[in-house]
Amino acid sequence: MSTHWNDSQPIYWQLKERTVAMILDGTLAEGEPLPSVRTVASEFHLNPITVSKSYQALVDEALVEKRRGLGMFVCEGARKRLVTSERDKFLNDEWPAMLSRIEQLGLKVDDLLKTAKTEENNS
């Protein structure tokens, strides 16, 4: 995880979103433990309360579960639920704004796809 924090959002929220991204991309698998609050706080120079608040937000969303004496673990089905909710968020919130911007700039979807394929082939 990067140690760069954006001033426009609370750090606990950014840490939560980074953890969500790690679940989505498979870095954190279902059933796998999250790093301890102390480890994360120390590694990123954060207050442990900030890390705990982030982890609690994940618990509240049923993505992570507390196991007394053992720590926090990614819940079974968390990735599937995240993919569904993130797709919905993208299609309902982000895509309409993107599409509007594409239209404002006079871009064509086919041209964008060709550009993406060209960049993909060059990497």
The β-bridge partners of 74 are 64
Q: Where are the domains of the chain?
A: 11-76, 79-122
Q: pLDDT of 65-95, one tens digit each?
A: 999 999 999 999 999 999 999 999 999 999 9
Q: What's the CATH architecture for 11-76? A: Orthogonal Bundle (1.10)
Tell me the percentage of the chain whose pLDDT exceeds 90.
80
State pTM to two decimals: 0.78
Report the chain's C-alpha Rg in angstroms. Answer: 18
88 Cβ contact list (under 8 Å, min separation 6): none
